[in-house]
Amino acid sequence: MDLKDLYRDVIVDHNRHPRNFRPMPDADRHAEGFNPLCGDRLTLFVKLDGDRISDVSFQGSGCAISVASASLLTESVRGRTVADAERLFASMHELLTRDEAVADPAVLGKLAALSGVREFPARVKCASLCWHTLDAALHREAEPVSTE
Amino acid sequence: MSAVQATRPAALLPPLDPEAVRADFPVLARQVNGKPLCYLDNAASSQRPRAVIDAISGYYENSHANVHRGVHRLSQEATDLFEGARETLRRFINARSTREVIFVRGTTEAINLVAQSYARPRLQPGDEIVISWLEHHANIVPWQMVCEQTGAKLRVIPITRRGEVDFDAFLGLLGERTRLLALAHVSNALGTVVPVDRFIREARRRGIPVLLDGAQAAPHLKVDVQALDCDFYCFSGHKMCGPTGIGVLYGRESLLEAMPPWQGGGDMILAVSFERTVYNALPYKFEAGTPHIAGAIGLAAAVDYLEALGLERIAAAEQSLLEYATQRLLEVPGLEIVGTAPHKAAVASFTVAGVHPHDLGTILDAEGVAIRTGHHCAMPVMDFFGVPATARASFAFYNTRAEIDCLVAALRVAREMLA
């Protein structure tokens, strides 16, 4: 177990300087996510142009893994279609939970930096919270998303 | 040498020798992630000395049978050990009688028992239960449930910025409709020792019964329920070197007598027919089903162990660790201690600027240091201080200054990595 595997430079950078960290008053969709174990809370905003995600941002507070994961998510899904974003969610889910999953940089890009999280089972929920929240926003689920 | 062999009065004894005490706890010798374990999560659950482990396995190896039932030899031995454990616990808290000592699963079950069996039948719509802002969820939610069931209201005593229960505000909350005061003896999230004597005196003067949540107090303070003059006192074995799944509800006998059983079954009856059941006497009326016999025996062994070390010596060792930890922690840049009451148990709850508590927990674990991070089952306390979570280091008499040095070094690593 090496901490450097968890807190890679990309993650530390996105935690210190989260991208697209702003409210979006004219969002088409938004959803709230909550991780009761560590108190992570985030709101994800999505603007749609047809079935394409034209803008995405987030706000909230959380640990380095959850903030960095949300920040990386916003960079990764902007410009994608909803179906494409859902495929990315499935790939991320596999990366975070399946021991034998291999991060394919061609599919995941910078998101591959989160592959170390699965060595820390207590932290998987931190990384996946924003993805579940995005899923809820895209499907207009009114209830806040909880990792529990 | 075993640290348990001390027999002189505590006041005459030298301070505890941490190395001798540590040798009594097998788990303290292990490593975590290649580093020596620094176990600083004692407020969540303490570790077990060999004496407790041996008492439990000795019972299972030699004397196990069901209690209060058989005429055979093992059943008699098990009953003697179980009831002997009750007497040890009675002496530990200075209850008047073993009829006032009810074995339960833990503090949570004890509070739920009082909420359902004492409060629920008595409460009318508009009646009030007073708790404080410091409470663990276990001393909030059972009262919320009984309020929903009866139409009673929950009133909450505010706390100060230092994490003390506001006594003047408490006086203002007491009124004609106050039916119960339920108060933490020691805060689990912050370590505040609540000066419960003052609160109990005011409540009793007005005829209001008092329940104390002693989960964090029993291992660290001398608890004397007669001197406290409280009506109910609840604590758990696993926070005082005993097993999980066992705890004690102390109740004033006259109140317990008047309360209906809260669970029905074997052991709590004298006679059963389909027309009528006669309930057993105290304390068995509240102990339906086969109890956690090994748990009670293990808890009594923990009490014997703690008393042999000397409760005053334990308290002195823990206060010395708290002072040292507070001073060392404040040397870490950006560290802020949450909860600064003048009288605290050995708990340091803190935040570090730029590093989320959950990240601290992971980074410290890699260094072998175990602390609790999160809301500590006290979300209202977190809300009061405007933080989502804190990191909490909590010390027991078997901890050392060297372990606190490890904690501080690991916090510096975390800051370098993330802040």
**CATH code of the domain in which A80 resides:** 3.90.1010.10
Among A3, A38, A65, beta carbon nearest to B366: A3
CB contact under 8 A, B417 and A65: no
> Which pLDDT score, from 0 to 100, does residue B3 have?
41
ipTM: 0.89
Which structural domain range is residue A60 located in? 3-146
Average pLDDT over residues B108-136: 98
- B388 in A contact zone (CB under 8 Å): yes
> Which pLDDT score, from 0 to 100, does residue B4 have?
43
pLDDT digits (tens, 9 = 90+) for B334-366: 999 999 999 999 999 999 999 999 999 999 999
**Chain A residue with Cα closest to B365:** A3
* Greatest Cα-to-Cα distance within chain A, rounded to the nearest angstrom: 44
Encode chain A (148 residues) as per-residue pLDDT tens digits.
688 889 999 999 999 999 999 999 999 999 999 987 777 899 999 999 999 999 999 999 999 999 999 999 999 999 999 999 999 999 999 999 887 777 777 889 999 999 999 989 889 999 999 999 999 999 876 567 776 6
Average pLDDT over residues B82-94: 98
- Tracing tokens 């370098």 back to the chain, one arrives at B416
Q: Indicate the range of A10-24, B258-272, B390-404 predicted with least confidence.
A: B258-272
How far does B248 lie from chain A, in Å, by closest CA? Answer: 28
Among B33, B358, B373, beta carbon nearest to A1: B33
- A61 in B contact zone (CB under 8 Å): yes
The answer to whether the beta carbons of residues B162 and B404 sit under 8 Å apart is: no
**Chain B residue with Cα closest to A122:** B362
Measured distance CA(B119)–CA(B399) in Å, rounded: 40
The answer to whether the beta carbons of residues B368 and B35 sit under 8 Å apart is: yes
pLDDT digits (tens, 9 = 90+) for B185-216: 999 999 999 999 999 999 999 999 999 999 99
| Structure tokens that stand for B96 in this block | 């008047």
- Check whether B156 has a pLDDT greater than 50: yes
Q: How many domains does chain A have?
A: 1
- A69 in B contact zone (CB under 8 Å): no
> Which pLDDT score, from 0 to 100, does residue A97 have?
87
CB contact under 8 A, A122 and B418: no
Residue B348, classed as helix, strand or coil, is strand
The Cα angle at residue B162 between residues B361 and B204, in degrees rounded to 5: 115
Which of A105, A103, A18 lies closest to A65 in space, CA to CA?
A18
Measured distance CA(B148)–CA(B153) in Å, rounded: 8
> Which pLDDT score, from 0 to 100, does residue A103 have?
74
Contacts of B33 in chain A (CB under 8 A): 1
Measured distance CA(B89)–CA(B81) in Å, rounded: 12
Q: Please spell the DSSP secondary structure of B213-276, one letter per residue.
A: E-TTTTTTS---HHHHT-SEEEEESGGGTS-TT-EEEEE-HHHHHHSPPSS-SSSSEEEE-SS-
Domains in chain B with CATH codes: 3-48+310-414 (3.90.1150.10), 54-307 (3.40.640.10)
What separation in angstroms does the CA of B359 have from each of B104, B194, B238, B387, B404? 36, 31, 27, 15, 19
SS3 percent helix, strand, coil of chain B, rounded to 5, is 45, 20, 40
Q: Provide the whole-model pTM.
A: 0.93
- Check whether B393 has a pLDDT greater than 80: yes
Positions of B marked active-site: 377
Residue B187, classed as helix, strand or coil, is coil
Among A1, A3, A126, beta carbon nearest to B358: A126
Residue A70: what residue type?
A: A
- A7 in B contact zone (CB under 8 Å): yes
> Which pLDDT score, from 0 to 100, does residue B311 have?
95
